[in-house]
Structure formats: C-alpha cells, structure tokens
C-alpha cells in the first residue's frame, strides 16, 4: 500500500504520524514537506473532500494569519492556504482507502 504524508518535520504530531506509517508493514511512504512543496489548491480541496472535512476544519488556527479568516468562506481559506501553507493543519495522510488528518496520529490507522 502506498501512503502520502503531507508532513512538517518540526511538528511532533506529524513526526508521530510518520512513525506510525514507518512501523506499519507493507506501507510504501511518500513524504511531502508541504511547506517546501505545497499541494495545489485543487489537490488540497480534493484531500479535504476525501477526508470528509471542510477547508475550515483543515485550517491551522494556532497561526496568527488564521485570525483574519474567522468569517472567511471555504474559497477564501483555500486561497490563504495557497499563499501561506503554514495555515494547513498537519499532517494529512492519503492512501487508497482515504485521507485522514493525523490529529491524533492514531487516526491514520483507519486508512492503513
């Protein structure tokens, strides 16, 4: 099985999620450091749709830049994420079985 993790190596939850992927037998992992190589707007929207999430649910509210998006619609949130990928909550993991936000990291086991 192939798993893609949209990863930030400075994030403890992202590192914990990557560790789960590495310890799972038969998983081929693609690590995408999304701050260096952010997903396209279309890809991010598709990830959220597959995860059953809205862009607002994928917004990293801990970032100062998120404050200005309090009343923004989904399109404005996605646009902001394209300008500043730090606004994307991490980690997102995609497999053939679906997409999960690794918060908590154990949630990714559902799609392995």
- Which residues are identified as catalytic? 11
In degrees rounded to 5, what are phi and psi of residue 23?
-85, -5
CA dihedral defined by 76, 35, 2, 17, rounded to 10 degrees?
Answer: -100
């Amino acid at each position: 099985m192939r798993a893609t993790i949209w990863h930030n190596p400075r994030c403890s939850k992202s590192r914990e999620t990557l560790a789960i992927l590495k310890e799972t037998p038969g998983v081929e992992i693609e690590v995408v450091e999304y701050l260096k190589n952010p997903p396209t707007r279309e890809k991010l929207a598709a990830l959220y749709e597959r995860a059953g999430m809205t862009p607002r649910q994928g917004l990293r509210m801990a970032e100062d830049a998120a404050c200005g998006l309090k009343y923004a619609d989904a399109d404005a949130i996605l646009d902001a994420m394209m300008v500043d990928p730090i606004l994307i909550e991490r980690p997102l993991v995609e497999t053939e079985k679906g997409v999960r936000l690794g918060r908590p990291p154990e949630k990714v086991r559902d799609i392995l």
